[in-house]
Chains A and B, each alone.
Chain A
């Protein structure tokens, strides 16, 4: 037999990558082992021999079967595979899943085979039947332990994988150089400046336009006191009390002595004297006389009081009339003063008003003149600025037009180059597609051949795959 490289390249032509061929061969062998039913793998399996440890490492291996001695040396019983989730159950003697030595079990966990009931030295050892994926080199001519028909399928599988590489290579072979993409034009449009901008309002009226103080307005003299010029001309009314004799006054009483001259004119003694006459002297007549005397005196005194009162009333009336005359006189004077003051105030008010109006009129005139001047100045500035701005805009537009025209020419040229490039690419793609199509057909044929090889192998073991239900029926 030729080497695997020769056998692969006989199918698909030169690959040009021996590492790819080795990898494809190894991968195809692994795929074949995983694709085939277990019954087809016994011919390539390996037996571990007796294992007395509690488990066995089966990383990168495909376990076909596990056997355990049943307590009799050399009497191996097939172990049933159970899911690793039963790891606890198969070790629990009280569980229904606890196995017996006549029907032991195994499970795969952490890349190891665990066998239960727990194995040990013979007659409780166990063996593992397994298959490992072989490493197949491109320069080899055979795979150790593989039947010829298996090797043939491996070669076909490797050729399929290498064809995929060739298909991939056929896609990536475009040699046409695309045109350089034109640089994006730097359209640096500078903003049109506004010329002669108004720096400040023209001739803004300076100072305040407050009206000046109204001239001629002095402090208004207060009206003179409106004191009455006349005074009350009445004299003080004098009341002259009627004179009586007696130190104790009219109502006082003092000790009087009958027949005493002094007491005879002393009216304050008359009561004592009367008492003397009544009580001591028991002279009724004298007493009556005395009473008459007192009564007469009282009458006289009353008359005198009446006279004094009348005089006093006359005096009061004089004083009242005099006071009224004074009040009238003073009122007249006051009215005159008020009238004068009113006249003065009116004069001053008129003067103030007149002068204020004059001031306001002057200030308004000043402001109107200033505003008018400022408006004219501002208008002129705006007009100048507008003209200047328009010129800037027109200049910027011309620059922009020139740039666009240049870039349009560049794009046109690039478009032409791109069309040429597309034509070259299309041509190369057509060639690549043709190659790809050829490799695709080759791949399809190899696939059919690969499947045919698998079918041949598996058909030899069909009798183990029959349906037991059909067998019953």
Chain B
């Protein structure tokens, strides 16, 4: 099912409810797209792997479908043998410790969330951003907000606001983002903010030089929506869950809590049915260790 069709079904579900405000596509997308992502992470748990060449202690998860639900990390040496790297909590990770004193390698995840101000944004390809002492490195991700300027001449849609983009460092006070603003946009940006959103896997010691690659396995988010014709990246049984949850959110906003609760209950029931049928015997190593899975599953 495509997003457009899902939105039309939401309209149909709300037809008789006579919601007291317009249910625009933006409103539906705000709730539905988030529900799709939540259900994908919570219920579907699509597995994905990203590999890195061993170099240093930190590696940025660059995939759009990233999540911090990493359930396995492997180190492969030049001979083809692999070994699993255990997870340790960030609270027991001491970055200043001499790694020669650490005998066993382990990993944790961290999301950098520094922030800064945008003082200028130039119409160019790529778009050049000025931000004094930004402290970012190439490959870091930032989310822009409150950008003044760089509005599209026709649609008035801002080129940066709300977008998560990887940066390329130019110098300590400027970087670029892969957005073509060279034409079709109004005045240059004069102000704004950014917040870092870089998901990293961090090792307690640098993998040994004989490790040729690192493979990180994690539960991925659904495929991001490009436009309304994009497919909803959920199993067919779970699309109605997202629809009912969205309807419930909108009805709750309108004060119709009883009907909203009904839709929410229906969505839960559908999720439960899916878990009971398609995921009954599937291991969930991110929840409990393998031997205990039988006690978790019905």
Contact = CB atoms under 8 A, between A and B. Distances in A.
Interface of A: 80, 82-83, 86, 90, 93, 95-100, 102-103, 105, 117, 467-469, 472
A82 B22 contact: yes
Given A82-B22, A83-B22, A97 B16 contact: no
B228 A98 contact: no
A258 to B, nearest CB: 159
A463 B13 CA distance: 16
Given A96-B30, A103-B25, A469-B259, 20 more contacts: A80-B24, A86-B22, A90-B22, A93-B157, A93-B158, A96-B26, A97-B26, A98-B24, A99-B24, A99-B25, A99-B26, A100-B24, A102-B4, A103-B7, A103-B24, A117-B155, A467-B16, A468-B15, A468-B16, A469-B16
B170 interface: no
B160 to A, nearest CB: 13
Contact of A80 (B4, B23, B26, B228): B23
Given A102-B4, A467-B16, A468-B15, A93 B25 contact: no
B16 A102 contact: no
Interface in B19-53: 21-27, 30
Nearest to B13: A468
21 contacts: A80-B11, A80-B22, A80-B23, A86-B22, A96-B26, A96-B27, A97-B21, A97-B26, A98-B24, A99-B24, A99-B25, A100-B24, A100-B25, A100-B26, A102-B4, A105-B24, A468-B15, A468-B16, A469-B16, A469-B259, A472-B13
A90 B26 CA distance: 11
A41 B155 CA distance: 36
B127 to A, nearest CB: 19
Contacts of A472: 13, 266
B292 interface: no
A98 B25 CA distance: 8
Interface of B: 4, 7, 11-13, 15-16, 21-27, 30, 151, 155-158, 228, 259, 266
Contacts, number: 51
A469 B258 CA distance: 13
A97 B22 contact: yes
A386 B286 CA distance: 131
Interface of A is mostly: loop
Nearest to A469: B16
A97 B24 contact: yes
A468 B12 CA distance: 8
B204 to A, nearest CB: 44
3 smallest beta-carbon distances between A and B, as pairs: A103-B25, A82-B22, A93-B156
Contacts of B25: 99-100, 102-103
Contacts of B4: 102
Contacts of A105: 22, 24
B285 to A, nearest CB: 37
Nearest to A103: B25
Contacts of B158: 93
A86 B24 CA distance: 12
Contacts of A103: 7, 24-25
Contacts of B12: 468
B8 to A, nearest CB: 9
Contacts of B27: 96-97
A293 B156 CA distance: 169
Contacts of A469: 16, 259
Contacts of B16: 467-469
Contacts of A97: 21-22, 24, 26-27
A117 B157 CA distance: 12
A93 B158 CA distance: 9
Contacts of B7: 103
Contacts of A468: 12-13, 15-16
A99 B259 CA distance: 26
Contacts of A90: 22, 24
B155 A93 contact: yes
Contacts of B26: 95-100
A258 B263 CA distance: 181
Nearest to A470: B16
B257 to A, nearest CB: 16
Contacts of A80: 11, 22-24
Nearest to A466: B16
A80 B14 CA distance: 13
Contacts of B157: 93
A96 B157 CA distance: 13
